[in-house]
């Protein structure tokens, strides 16, 4: 009984702290369009942007209705703005040298403060020990993946529709990047690990998994399997645009099958 009371108090506290517009969007989310930007000085930045945007749209569409890129959505369309701030090659965990120096200095200072005559030696030894394990942790992560991925960091903000959307507080805002995205990546086979396109696809999927996971924690959305994309009234679906109907050609009289011999 006491536990149920605590859960009730926690739930009421959460609802009281939640802004009305956030709670309204959680209960009835409007269609969302994804806007992704990337610094112009990033090599092959446009290709990275397109790959990451496509993966995020596909994953998001399993939670809410997504307005495809280039399609005019309804008036209440919300905007999920993804601002990529940095793209660099992942080196695998913290720098072992930095870990070793920080550990050695900390151990040395604590030892000296406690009156340990061998504080300098202890700091040196523990610094080497920490750096050694940092090197192995870095190698283990790269060995798990089988490739060296990109480390992409970004700022995510979800804003509701309207002319004052940029002035009002966002419905959700958070950072994404670093080890949380790397940990979400799946390993690839040796054949796939040499395919740049396949690596970028897995990087983008992991990025989308982390973003959707944080949105799901915020709004409590559940997946519905088949992606749902907004279709303008009277418009054609993506499948119709990509695969127009082709009328079969009829054979000309000269190409018609000759009659059997009498």
Both structure tokens of 27: 């209960």
Give the pLDDT of residue 211.
96
State the Cα–Cα distance between residues 4 and 235, nearest whole angstrom: 50
Most confidently predicted of 120-129, 235-244, 246-255:
120-129
pLDDT digits (tens, 9 = 90+) for 224-237: 878 899 987 765 54
pLDDT tens digit string along 127-142? 665 655 555 555 566 6
- Tell me the C-alpha distance between 141 and 136, whole Å: 9
pLDDT in tens, 177-204: 888 898 899 888 888 888 888 989 999 9
Q: Please tell me which residue, 10 or 73, carries the higher pLDDT value.
A: 73
Find, among 119, 124, 78, 121, the residue nearest to 104 by Cα. 124
Digit-coded pLDDT (tens) for 57-113: 999 999 999 999 888 889 889 999 999 998 887 765 555 555 556 666 676 677 677
> Concatenated DSSP letters for 215-253?
HHHHH-----SS--B---TTPPPHHHHHS---PPPPPPG
Residue 262 CA to residue 256 CA, distance in Å, equals 18
Burial class (CB in 10 A: 0-12, 13-18, 19+), 11: exposed
**Amino acid 10: pLDDT:** 43
Residue 116, pLDDT > 90, answer no
The more confidently predicted of residues 102 and 251 is: 102
> Given this model, what pLDDT does residue 60 score?
95
Neighbours of 243 (CB within 10 A): 8
Q: How confident is the model at residue 148 (pLDDT cuts 50, 70, 90)?
A: confident
First to last CA, the chain: 97
Give the separation between CA 221 and CA 172, rounded to whole angstroms: 14
Q: In this predicted model, which residue has the larger pLDDT, 4 or 157?
A: 157
pLDDT at 201: 92
Average pLDDT over residues 232-256: 49
């Amino acid at each position: 009984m006491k536990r149920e009371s605590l859960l009730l108090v926690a739930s009421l506290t959460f609802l009281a702290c939640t802004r009305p517009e956030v709670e309204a969007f959680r209960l009835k989310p409007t269609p969302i369009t994804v806007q992704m930007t990337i610094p112009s000085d990033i090599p092959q930045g446009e290709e990275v942007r397109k790959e990451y945007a496509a993966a995020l749209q596909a994953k998001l569409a399993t939670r809410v209705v997504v307005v495809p890129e280039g399609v005019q959505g309804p008036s209440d369309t919300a905007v999920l703005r993804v601002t990529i701030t940095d793209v660099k090659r992942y080196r695998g965990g913290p720098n072992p040298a930095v870990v070793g120096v920080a550990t050695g200095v900390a151990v040395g200072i604590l030892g000296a403060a406690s009156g340990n005559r061998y504080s300098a030696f202890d700091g040196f030894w523990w610094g080497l020990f920490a750096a050694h394990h940092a090197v192995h942790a870095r190698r283990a992560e790269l060995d798990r993946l089988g490739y060296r991925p990109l480390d992409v960091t970004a700022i995510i903000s979800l804003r509701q529709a309207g002319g004052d959307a940029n002035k009002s507080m966002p419905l959700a805002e958070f950072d994404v990047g670093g080890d949380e995205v790397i940990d979400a990546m799946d390993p690839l086979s040796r054949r796939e690990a040499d395919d740049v396109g396949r690596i970028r696809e897995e990087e983008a999927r992991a990025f989308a998994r982390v973003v959707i996971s944080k949105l799901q924690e915020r709004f409590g959305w559940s997946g519905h399997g088949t992606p749902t994309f907004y279709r303008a009234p009277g418009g054609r679906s993506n499948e119709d645009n990509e695969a127009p109907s082709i009328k079969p050609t009829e054979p000309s009289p000269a190409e018609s099958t000759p009659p059997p011999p009498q």
